[in-house]
């Protein structure tokens, strides 16, 4: 506050003029600061991409077998996560996804519950309560372990019908995947698609047809899971992701979106190198879709990681084998994928981040911290 001198009238007049000028400057500065603060406090969009079963070797295939430069090269903030569950040194997808979704280390096969089978809130549910739009995209059934861990709460991952029932609670604004049988061919005789439509969803079981911006939207496009790339799947993962982003942009609210590249894992389980490679490349293309979106929408955080590695995959030397003599000759221009198992492994899992808050994701830490780091980026914890 201005202190006026009473020594002389001239000092009073000059002081008054100076005070008015300073007050105007202060008001202008406060207005500028308020605008700047409002811009800085704009809610952050979050996109979490999970390449199921994707370890270092799987990521490496996107460099060796891709026709274009891998989108993984665009990341500067990179870390590793430890993935052991509360019950097993080697985790499964349910415990791995639940750890990232809830911040709780839980037992294998658990969906959205802690090690005592008590339901715990997921980051999707917490953001839904704060007015965020929410979305899930998968190649498997939408009731499968990874997507289910963000909205459902059951003791065992195989409780698909119970998981489907949890989806009817309406906390997911946009979802796309397979699994319509768990909604329509149920033991209890209920038709959950009808129930979803009555609660305000537009549900499509035929294809990625135009969404209804005035409703929540769900796409259940296979009885169980979508086909793999080598079995004829087209650009579904990129198209569904683009559709979700467009849907969210049709509204003003921020969003949380989880996108799963499900079949990288299945390639490892089958020891099918071509399946694993093509699924990783497809996932890489989808990362590119998200990065293009971020160029126009910089108030977005992208985190890419996995729940575990599958297959003990390695990228090594390629050998031509003579069919008559079985003699092996190295081809120095090629590489080949090798597997040591058809199960999950205990590898540390790479995690990549880009956008506001990306610096939080460097280092080596338990997978439960993915949840806390996302919340820190969102300003929900300090």
Buried residues in 182-220 as b, exposed as e (16+ CB within 10 A): bbeeeeeeeebbebbeeeebbbbeeeeeebeeeebbbbb
Q: Residue written as tokens 């861990």?
A: 149
Q: How far apart are CA 357 and CA 302, in angstroms?
A: 9
CA dihedral 369, 375, 380, 382 (to 10 degrees): 50
Q: Annotated catalytic sites, by residue?
A: 93
Distances (CA, A) of 283 to 134, 188, 217, 244, 370: 20, 36, 23, 16, 20
Tokens of 138: 């998968």
Answer positive or negative: Cα dihedral of 209, 212, 213, 218. negative
- Pull the structure tokens for residue 380: 């929900």
What 8-state DSSP symbol labels residue 154?
A: B
Instruction: Say if residues 207 and 186 touch (Cβ distance below 8 Å).
Output: no
Burial class (CB in 10 A: 0-12, 13-18, 19+), 49: buried
Tell me the backbone φ, ψ of residue 22, rounded to 5 degrees. -65, -35
Q: Is 242 exposed, middle or buried (0-12, 13-18, 19+ CB in 10 A)?
A: middle
| Nearest alpha-carbon partner for 158 in 113, 88, 109 | 109
DSSP assigned state of 3: P
């Amino acid at each position: 506050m201005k202190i006026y001198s009473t020594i002389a009238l001239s000092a009073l007049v000059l002081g008054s003029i100076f005070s008015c000028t300073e007050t105007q400057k202060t008001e202008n500065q406060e207005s500028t600061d308020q605008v700047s603060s409002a811009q800085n406090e704009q809610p952050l969009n979050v996109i979490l991409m999970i390449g199921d079963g994707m370890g270092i070797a799987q990521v490496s295939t996107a460099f060796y077998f891709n026709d274009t430069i891998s989108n993984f090269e665009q990341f500067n903030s990179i870390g590793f996560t430890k993935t052991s569950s509360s019950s097993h040194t080697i985790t499964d997808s349910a415990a791995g996804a639940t750890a990232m979704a809830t911040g709780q280390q839980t037992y294998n096969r658990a969906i959205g519950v802690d090690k005592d089978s008590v339901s715990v809130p997921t980051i999707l549910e917490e953001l839904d309560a704060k007015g965020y739009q929410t979305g899930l995209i998968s190649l498997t059934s939408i009731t499968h372990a990874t997507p289910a861990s963000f909205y459902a709460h059951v003791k065992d991952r195989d409780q698909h019908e119970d998981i489907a029932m949890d989806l009817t609670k309406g906390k997911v604004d946009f979802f796309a995947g397979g699994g319509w049988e768990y909604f329509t061919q149920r033991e209890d005789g209920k038709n959950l698609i009808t129930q979803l439509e009555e609660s305000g969803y537009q549900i499509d079981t035929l294809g990625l047809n135009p969404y209804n911006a005035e409703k929540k939207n769900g796409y259940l496009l296979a009885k169980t899971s979508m086909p793999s790339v080598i079995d004829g799947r087209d650009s579904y993962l990129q198209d569904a992701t683009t559709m979700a982003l467009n849907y969210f942009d049709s509204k003003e609210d921020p969003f949380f979106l989880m996108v799963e590249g499900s079949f990288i894992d299945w390639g490892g389980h089958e020891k099918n190198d071509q399946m694993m490679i093509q699924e990783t490349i497809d996932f890489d293309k989808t990362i590119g879709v998200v990065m293009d979106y971020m160029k126009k929408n910089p108030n977005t955080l992208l985190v890419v990681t996995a729940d575990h590695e599958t297959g003990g995959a390695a990228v090594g030397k390629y050998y031509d084998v003579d069919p008559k003599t079985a003699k092996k000759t190295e081809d120095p221009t090629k590489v080949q994928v090798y597997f040591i198992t058809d199960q999950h492994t205990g590898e540390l899992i790479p995690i990549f981040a880009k956008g506001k808050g990306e610096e939080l994701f460097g280092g080596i830490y338990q997978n439960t911290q993915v949840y806390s780091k996302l919340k820190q980026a969102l300003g929900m914890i300090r």
